[in-house]
Structure 1
Amino acid sequence: MTNPDFATGIGIAGCGRMGAPMLTALRATGFDAKGFDVRPPSDFGALAPHILPLPDFAAQLTTLITVVRDIEQTDDVLFGAQNLIATAPDLTTVIISSTLSPRYVRALRERVPPHITLIDAPMSGAAIAAKEARLSFMLGGDPQDIASHQSLFEVMGAHFHHMGAFGAGMQAKVLNNLLAASNTAMTRLVLDWADQSGIEERALLDLIHTSSGQNWLASGFEEIEFARDGWEADNTIGILTKDVASALDAAPDGADTALPDLIKTQIRALKTRPRKPPSSQ
């Protein structure tokens, strides 16, 4: 059910593979949400009428959800090229849903005026979960602030974890993604080794799903859109290396970072995994 306090004035900055389905989910459940992206509206198909030019987006904005790629783009949205902190006169809430360094996120509180509520709400589940409105949100912020925005999260997701004060959601997300990166690197490695041993991919994935090696990537290998991708700077595998770097940026003082560093190297070395026809035997 739509919360009337947030029926209008909602904007998503960054309408890519995650932001676009999040915008679609909001609109499908009665929120008059709008989007902004550096790409032209013609790139967004049925969403095109709801992707606004920056001045119109800023003028209507009260609750901003950022789903851009990285710290540089987040800085552009908030303070730089788009500068919505200064140019959106009615802005009252900023929800950070990109995966970023927790250190950067916590420092936003000193840069954003105190009358603007800050919530960090990174999400997990890949594009398939965004399209099916079953994302997992890791939430950081004042409990009352999160409760007052819960109706937004509920139409985009299915699992909600309040991790603590502002920044705690992002800390939890980068730790979660560190595990996801390790699962990705190792799952792809064992599939390559299975190829060399003559074991069919589907047979091994079915085994993993019901055995001690079970993990998110292996269980969703056919649904997760990047499962077969090789590393490229601007694809999801590339983003995964950025997420490991974010986890490393927030590592405890004196922590042994050898394993995360190795995982980042292994992810960066991934090559595209082609589909292989099943054996006729």
Structure 2
Amino acid sequence: MNGIGIAGSGRIARSFATRLSDAGISAATFGLGTPEGGGDRTQRAAQRFTAGLGTLILVPADIAETEALLFEEQAFARNAKSLGAIVIAATLSPRYVRALRGRIDARIALIDAPVIGTGRAAEEGRLTMFLGGPLDVIQSLKPVFDLLTRKTVRMGGFGSAMAAKVMNDFLAATNNAVTRIALDWAEAQGIDEARIVEMAGRGGEGSEAPEDAPTFCPIGQQTEDSINHLVHEVEHAFDTALAGAHLTPPRAFETVMRSVKARHLH
């Protein structure tokens, strides 16, 4: 399989490149870098990357990097003349992702492919990937997806996978918010909160989350960054809400998470 390229600084980009290489599939890379720093993003590197590029697997850290890679500094969506498909393997705002269809030439197929799993799962090919986009293109790329993941699930047309991933993460975020409230109540009453967590199956000793579990930080191991991540999950979920949707409970969860501080089990 020829003409595959992986670009971006998302945490699983290097794992994707390594797994394809180990399987004997040559994939060009751009911007992956190393854990210690970013990769070469010069104009010359971009030109080498786009030569013969047929399928771009985009693994951006955020929307800003997506814009840079597709439309601004590197502008792969315009400059890669042989490009036939773009696979977006990241969790981004569903509203933003759907809008990409109107900004990219119709000849280029778009597939949104957010994943569920940890960095280690990516290294071992145990990710679950949601897929949205043309069925024929997804089927043609199945050998690649099979090397990168343990399981793929097609959700529908382009944008549907991102919405499904956000809803999946939203369930985890709201569950975390309610658990946090319960732990605060337990602490106020002098109850050993570690026992509450253990009974709830949410992080007691020897307990591990399922491999397919949403990527949230367990209660008892929270940091400011992980709490901010949960808030972003709720914000992304609002992108998928239809006009007239009942948003009272989600807004309440957002308020709860914005007000909490990082905590660890005593």
Q: What is the TM-score normalised by the length of structure 1?
A: 0.77
1:229 counterpart letter in structure 2? Q
Quote the offset at 1:172 in angstroms.
0.9
**Would the aligned equivalents of 1:241 and 1:268 in 2 still touch at CA under 8 Å?**
yes
Residue identity over aligned pairs, in percent, reads: 37
Q: Which residue of 2 aligns with 1:110?
A: 102
Q: Which residue of 2 aligns with 1:279?
A: none
Partner-residue secondary structure (3-state), 1:158:
strand
Instruction: Please give the alpha-carbon distance, in whole angstroms, between the structure 2 residues aligned to 1:101 and 1:238.
Output: 15
Residues 153 and 192 (structure 1), Cα distance of their counterparts in 2 relative to 1, 3 Å cut: farther
5+ unaligned residues in a row in structure 2: which ranges? none
- Structure 1, residues 123-182: CA drift from partner, whole Å, max 9, x if none? 112334223321111111111111111112112212211111111111211111111211
Quote the offset at 1:204 in angstroms.
3.7
How many residues are aligned here? 255
Instruction: Please give the alpha-carbon distance, in whole angstroms, between the structure 2 residues aligned to 1:207 and 1:35.
Output: 46
Partner-residue secondary structure (3-state), 1:35:
strand
Partner-residue secondary structure (3-state), 2:110:
strand
Q: Does 1:99 align with 2:91?
A: yes
Q: Which residue of 2 aligns with 1:19?
A: 13
Quote the offset at 1:68 in angstroms.
1.4
2:200 counterpart letter in structure 1? I
Find the partner of 2:60 among 61, 64, 68. Answer: 68
Partner-residue secondary structure (3-state), 2:100:
helix
Task: For 1:1-281, list aligned pairs within 5 A.
Answer: 5=1, 8-37=2-31, 41=34, 43=36, 53-194=45-186, 197-199=190-192, 201=194, 203-209=195-201, 219-220=208-209, 226-227=217-218, 228-232=221-225, 237-274=227-264, 276=266
Instruction: Please give the alpha-carbon distance, in whole angstroms, between the structure 1 residues aligned to 2:176 and 2:71.
Output: 34
**Would the aligned equivalents of 2:58 and 2:88 in 1 still touch at CA under 8 Å?**
yes
Q: What is the TM-score normalised by the length of structure 2?
A: 0.81
**Would the aligned equivalents of 1:136 and 1:159 in 2 still touch at CA under 8 Å?**
yes
Quote the offset at 1:80 in angstroms.
1.3
The farther-off stretch of 253-262 and 162-171 is 253-262
Residues 18 and 229 (structure 1), Cα distance of their counterparts in 2 relative to 1, 3 Å cut: farther
- Structure 1, residues 229-262: CA drift from partner, whole Å, max 9, x if none? 3233xxx543443332222022011112122223
Quote the offset at 1:193 in angstroms.
4.7
